[in-house]
Amino acid sequence: MQICLVEQMCTVKLKITACQIPLPNQSAVAMEAATVLRQRLGDKTPQLGVVLGSGLGFWADRALANPLRVPYMELPDFPRSTVPGHHGSFVLGELQGHTILCMQGRVHYYEGYSLQQVTLPIRVMAALGIQGLILTNAAGGIAKHLHPGDPMVLCDHINFLGSNPLIGPVKPDETRFPDMSEVYCRRWRAGFHAHLGRTGQAEAAEGVYLATTGPSFETPAEIEAFARLGADAVGMSTVPEAIVARQLGLPVFAFSCITNYAAGRSPGPLSHEEVGETAAGAEDRLSALLEAAIISFTVTNQKLEC
């Protein structure tokens, strides 16, 4: 009986230890996935990585020339989305002479993946040579001026996940305490807004994105609290990916599609279906904004220092 108890305690201790040091494993998984992906993609080095969120899932199929697709399921131990409406493939292709590596679908913390697993694809894309990262997502609008269908360019974020993807051992060539005072590259944003102006496109608002774990939507009291903290929009992704990208020294640009008024900002209940429908309806505008972001990165500077 006593031996049994000791055994049980050891098992628990081993499990805890395994949870606390997931990074070496994930590093190995990232390296293996990068090796397989590189073999599948041939000798093309991507310049930009793009994570396609709700409303942009099909963008890579429509916009990229000479697309090459690698489903996540073909990469060893690669996390796969369990959420309806989220695809699961890398797509590499050309846009205006530039090579773009897209993620059609991402995984979320609320699916039960660790933050290290959620951000593993960013490490894979970095290993493949991307020089900048564009993140897109769906979000609930908190600020009064944001309405369903509107875009919001992230100028900053609040990590309300209660954790951080960088917790755990750090590799010798990585920063332990990366600076987060300008996560979303100011120069890239300026280039983007200038491009919208030059091409006669409507202006896009900037705002602060707050990340929650989900998967339950927020209560009206939580949204009121987030508003007082300075959040303009709320969502369940992006922040872990942006943190890892900054640790790796990648410039980041991100925008949200406001798919709904956040809880308590409109009379009805929130639903995942509403999020999907609004994002699908905003597809054309989101595609134009994504292309503006890509053009303003490459036009501004091939090696943007942010």
Residue 238 or 296 having the CB closest to ligand HPA: 238
Which residues, 201 to 230, sit near ligand HPA by CB under 6 A?
Answer: 217-218
Contact at 8 Å (CB) between 233 and 192?
Answer: no
Residue nearest to ligand HPA (CB): 140
235 binding ligand HPA? (CB under 6 A): yes
68 DSSP β-pair partners: 92
236 binding ligand HPA? (CB under 6 A): yes
**Separation CA 59–CA 291 (nearest Å):** 10
Q: What is the DSSP string of 178-223?
A: ---TTSB-HHHHHHHHHHHHHTTPPP-EEEEEEE---SSPPPHHHH
Which three-class secondary structure state does DSSP give residue 240? Answer: helix
In the chain, DSSP assigns E strands to 48-52, 65-71, 89-95, 98-104, 132-141, 151-159, 205-211, 233-235, 252-261
**Separation CA 111–CA 105 (nearest Å):** 13
Q: Which stretch binds ligand HPA (CB under 6 A): 63-71, 113-121, 234-242, 281-289?
A: 234-242
Which residues, 251 to 290, sit near ligand HPA by CB under 6 A?
Answer: 259-260, 262, 270, 275
161 binding ligand HPA? (CB under 6 A): no
**Distance of closest approach, residue 107 Cβ to ligand HPA, in angstroms:** 15
**Separation CA 31–CA 244 (nearest Å):** 15
91 binding ligand HPA? (CB under 6 A): no
Residue 125 or 262 having the CB closest to ligand HPA: 262
**Distance of closest approach, residue 270 Cβ to ligand HPA, in angstroms:** 6
Q: Which stretch binds ligand HPA (CB under 6 A): 16-24, 98-106, 138-146, 243-251?
A: 138-146
Q: Which stretch binds ligand HPA (CB under 6 A): 59-67, 196-204, 232-240, 244-252?
A: 232-240
234 binding ligand HPA? (CB under 6 A): yes
Contact at 8 Å (CB) between 122 and 240?
Answer: no
Question: Angle CA(188)–CA(234)–CA(80) in degrees, nearest 5?
Answer: 85
**Separation CA 151–CA 288 (nearest Å):** 11
148 binding ligand HPA? (CB under 6 A): no
**Distance of closest approach, residue 78 Cβ to ligand HPA, in angstroms:** 24
Active site residues: 54, 86, 108, 110-111, 138, 236-237, 260, 272
78 binding ligand HPA? (CB under 6 A): no
Contact partners, residue 187, CB within 8 Å, separation at least 6: 300, 301, 304, 305, 306
139 binding ligand HPA? (CB under 6 A): yes
**Distance of closest approach, residue 262 Cβ to ligand HPA, in angstroms:** 5
Which residues, 101 to 120, sit near ligand HPA by CB under 6 A?
Answer: none
Half-sphere exposure of 113 (CA within 13 A, CB side): 24
